[in-house]
Chain A
Amino acid sequence: MCGIVGLYLKNEALYPQLGALFKPMLISMTSRGPDSAGVAIYRNPVAEGQVKFSLAHERSDHDWNSLSTALAEALACANTIVQRDTHAILVTDGDERSVQSWLAEHAPDVRVVGRGSSVEIFKETGLPEQVYDRFDLASAQGRHMIGHTRMATESAVTTAGSHPFATGADLCLVHNGSLSNHNRLREELKRRGVSFSTENDSEVAAAYLTAKLQQGISLKDALEQALDDLDGFYTFCIGTGNGFAVLRDPIACKHAILAETDDWVAMATEYRAIATLPGAENARTWEPRPATVYAWGAETLEGLSVNDENHMTAGVA
Chain B
Amino acid sequence: MKQLDLQELGLRQINSTLQSAIPETDGQQWSVSNPMGLHAIACGLNSKLSVTIDGNAGFYCAGMNQQADVTIKGHAGVGVAENMMSGMVRVTGNASQSAGATGHGGLLVIEGDASSRCGISMKGIDIVIGGSVGHMSGFMAQLGHMVICGDAGEALGDSIYEAILYVAGDVESLGADCIEKQMTPEHEKTLAELLSRAGMDKDVKSFRRYGSARKLYNFNIDHAGDY
B-binding residues in A (CB < 8 A)? 252, 255, 257, 270-276, 280-281, 285-287, 289-290
Contact = CB atoms under 8 A, between A and B. Distances in A.
Contacts of B115: 252, 287
Contact of B56 (A252, A255, A271, A287): A271
Given A270-B59, A271-B37, A272-B37, A255 B116 contact: no
Interface residues of B, number: 23
A275 B94 contact: no
A257 B97 CA distance: 11
A274 B55 CA distance: 12
A280 to B, nearest CB: 7
B15 to A, nearest CB: 16
Contacts, number: 56
Contacts of B37: 270-275
A274 B116 CA distance: 21
B145 interface: no
Contact of B96 (A257, A274, A275): A257
B78 A255 contact: yes
A276 B93 CA distance: 19
B90 interface: no
A276 B36 contact: yes
Given A270-B39, A275-B37, 12 more contacts: A255-B97, A257-B75, A270-B77, A271-B37, A271-B58, A272-B37, A274-B37, A276-B36, A285-B56, A285-B94, A286-B94, A287-B97
Contact of B116 (A252, A270, A275, A281): A252
Given A274-B37, A275-B37, A289 B56 contact: no
Nearest to B35: A275
Given A275-B36, A285-B94, A286-B94, A270 B58 contact: yes
In the A-B complex, list the 6 residue pairs whose CB atoms are closest, starting with the nearest.
Answer: A272-B37, A271-B37, A275-B36, A285-B75, A287-B115, A275-B37
Contacts of B158: none
13 contacts: A252-B134, A255-B78, A270-B59, A272-B37, A275-B55, A281-B56, A281-B74, A285-B56, A285-B75, A285-B93, A286-B94, A286-B112, A286-B113
